[in-house]
Amino acid sequence: MKEFREPRYMPVSYDQVEWHSLCRDIDSSTQQFTSSIDELEEMSTGNRTWKQRLVDIGTVTAQQAKDWGFSGVMLRSRATSRH
């Protein structure tokens, strides 16, 4: 059986990979992602309408959690007491 690392069995020849292009693409994606994160943070922390729409979403009382059969992380989560 031939070893997979032999060049003729590699899907792409190692020397044919365009490393500079790959690095440029990764850098471009990272820059776009960074600016998107900044926009999302500004929207979620500085937008009054956004905050008003999200007040009390996901709030579940202890009794509701028991009644609905929550378990694991959902049952252990809490906002009023420390871990």
pLDDT of residue 6: 54
Q: What is the mean pLDDT of each run of 10 residues along the chain (83 residues)?
A: 53 63 86 84 83 82 88 76 58
CB 50 within 8 A of CB 43: yes
Tracing tokens 């252990």 back to the chain, one arrives at: 76
Q: 2 in helix, strand or coil?
A: coil
Contacts for 13 with CB less than 8 Å, ≥ 6 apart: 7
Task: Report the predicted TM-score, pTM, of the whole model to 2 decimal places.
Answer: 0.34
pLDDT of residue 5: 54
pLDDT of residue 67: 93
pLDDT of residue 2: 47
pLDDT of residue 77: 76
